[in-house]
Structure 1
Amino acid sequence: MQRPLGAQISHMLRDRGVDTIFGIPGVHNIELYRGIEEAGITHILARHEQGAGFMADGYARASGKPGVAYVITGPGLTNIMTPMGQAYSDSVPVLVISSCLDETAATRGQLHQMRDQRAAAATVCDWSEEARSPQAAYALIDRALAEFETRRPRPKHLQVPISLLGNPADAFPPKTETGLSGLPAQDEAAVTRITRALTSAKRPLIILGGGARAGASVYPQIADRAGAAVVCTYAGRGIMPGDHPLYLGATLPRPASRDILAQADLVLVVGSDLAEVDLWRDDLGHACPMLRIDIDPENLSAATRPDDEMILGDAFAIMQAVLGALDDQPATGWQPAEIAAFRAAARAEADAERPGIVPVCDALRAVLPDDTMIYSDMTQFAYVAKEVWDMPRPGHWHHPTGFGTLGYALPAAIGGAVARPGRPTLAIAGDYGFQYSLQELGTAVELGLPLPILLWDNGKLKEIEDSMIASQIAPNAVVARNPDFAALARAYGAHAAEPASLTDLQQAVLDAFQADRPTLLRISPAPAD
Structure 2
Amino acid sequence: MSGTKPSQARTVGEALIDLLAANGVEVVFGIPGVHTVELYRGLAGSTIRHITPRHEQGAGFMADGYARVTGKPGVALVITGPGLTNTITAMAQARQDSVPMLVISGVNRRNSLGQGRGLLHELPDQSAMMKSFALASHTLVDPAELSAVIAQAFAIMGSSRPGPVHIEVPTDVMPLPAGDVALRPTVPARPGADAATLERLAALCDGATRSVILCGGGAVSAGAAITALAEKLDAPVVLTTNARGLLARHPLRVPASPSLAAARTLIAEADLVIALGTEMGQTDYDMYADGAFPALMNFVRIDIDALQLSRAPRADLAVLSTVEAVVAALLPRLTARIGNGAARAKSAREAAWNGLSAKIRTEIEIIDSIYLALPDAIIVGDSTQPVYAGNLYLDIDRPLSWFNAATGFGALGYGPPAAIGAAIGAPGRPVICLTGDGGFQFSLAELGSAVDAGAQVIFLVWNNDGYQEIENYMLECGIEPEGVKPSAPDFAAIAGAFGLPALRLADMAELGPALAAAAERKGPSLIEIHQTRTRGASAN
| TM-score in terms of structure 1 length | 0.94
Answering whether residue 156 of structure 2 is matched by residue 147 of structure 1, we say yes
Answering whether residue 457 of structure 2 is matched by residue 451 of structure 1, we say yes
Once the two structures are TM-superposed, the CA of residue 19 in structure 1 deviates from its matched residue by: 1.8
Q: 1:394 aligns to what?
A: 399
Structure 1, 165-174 or 18-27: larger mean CA deviation: 165-174
The one of 121, 127, 132 equivalent to 2:136 is: 127
Answering whether residue 387 of structure 2 is matched by residue 379 of structure 1, we say no
Once the two structures are TM-superposed, the CA of residue 131 in structure 1 deviates from its matched residue by: 0.6
Answering whether residue 224 of structure 2 is matched by residue 220 of structure 1, we say no
**Equivalent AA in structure 2 for residue 373 of structure 1:** I
Q: 1:429 aligns to what?
A: 435
Once the two structures are TM-superposed, the CA of residue 511 in structure 1 deviates from its matched residue by: 1.5
Structure 1, 231-240 or 42-51: larger mean CA deviation: 231-240
The one of 421, 425, 436 equivalent to 1:419 is: 425
Q: 8 Å contact 1:486–1:496 — kept in the other structure?
A: yes
Deviations 1:412-453 (A, max 9, x none): 111111112222222111111111111111011112222111
Answering whether residue 67 of structure 2 is matched by residue 60 of structure 1, we say yes
Q: Distance in 2 between matches of 1:407 and 1:236?
A: 22
Task: Give the unaligned 5+ runs of structure 1.
Answer: none
Q: 1:311 aligns to what?
A: 319
Answering whether residue 90 of structure 2 is matched by residue 87 of structure 1, we say no
Q: 8 Å contact 1:78–1:121 — kept in the other structure?
A: no
Percent sequence identity over matched residues? Answer: 39
DSSP-derived class of the 1:298 partner: helix
Q: 8 Å contact 1:215–1:316 — kept in the other structure?
A: yes
Q: 2:268 aligns to what?
A: 262
Pair 388,198 (structure 1): closer, same or farther in 2 beyond 3 Å = same
Once the two structures are TM-superposed, the CA of residue 375 in structure 1 deviates from its matched residue by: 1.0
Once the two structures are TM-superposed, the CA of residue 137 in structure 1 deviates from its matched residue by: 2.9
Q: Distance in 1 between matches of 2:177 and 2:235?
A: 61
DSSP-derived class of the 2:252 partner: coil
Q: Distance in 1 between matches of 2:123 and 2:217?
A: 36
Q: Distance in 2 between matches of 1:492 and 1:467?
A: 35
DSSP-derived class of the 2:355 partner: helix
The one of 231, 235, 248 equivalent to 2:254 is: 248
Pair 192,485 (structure 1): closer, same or farther in 2 beyond 3 Å = same
Q: 8 Å contact 2:430–2:458 — kept in the other structure?
A: no
The one of 403, 410, 414 equivalent to 2:416 is: 410
Once the two structures are TM-superposed, the CA of residue 293 in structure 1 deviates from its matched residue by: 0.9
DSSP-derived class of the 2:61 partner: helix
Q: Distance in 1 between matches of 2:308 and 2:116?
A: 43
Deviations 1:228-257 (A, max 9, x none): 12211111111122x333322232011343
DSSP-derived class of the 2:301 partner: strand
The one of 325, 347, 350 equivalent to 1:344 is: 350
**Equivalent AA in structure 1 for residue 253 of structure 2:** Y
Q: Distance in 1 between matches of 2:150 and 2:296?
A: 46
Answering whether residue 79 of structure 2 is matched by residue 72 of structure 1, we say yes
Q: 2:210 aligns to what?
A: 203
Pair 83,304 (structure 1): closer, same or farther in 2 beyond 3 Å = closer
Q: Distance in 2 between matches of 1:445 and 1:177?
A: 34
Equivalenced residues, count: 522
Answering whether residue 58 of structure 2 is matched by residue 51 of structure 1, we say yes
Deviations 1:333-381 (A, max 9, x none): 5561x54343233224334364741331232222222x32221111111
DSSP-derived class of the 1:291 partner: strand
Q: 8 Å contact 2:151–2:186 — kept in the other structure?
A: no
Once the two structures are TM-superposed, the CA of residue 391 in structure 1 deviates from its matched residue by: 1.9
The one of 101, 109, 122 equivalent to 1:113 is: 122
Q: 8 Å contact 1:450–1:512 — kept in the other structure?
A: no
Q: 1:292 aligns to what?
A: 301
Once the two structures are TM-superposed, the CA of residue 467 in structure 1 deviates from its matched residue by: 1.1
Q: 8 Å contact 1:351–1:358 — kept in the other structure?
A: no
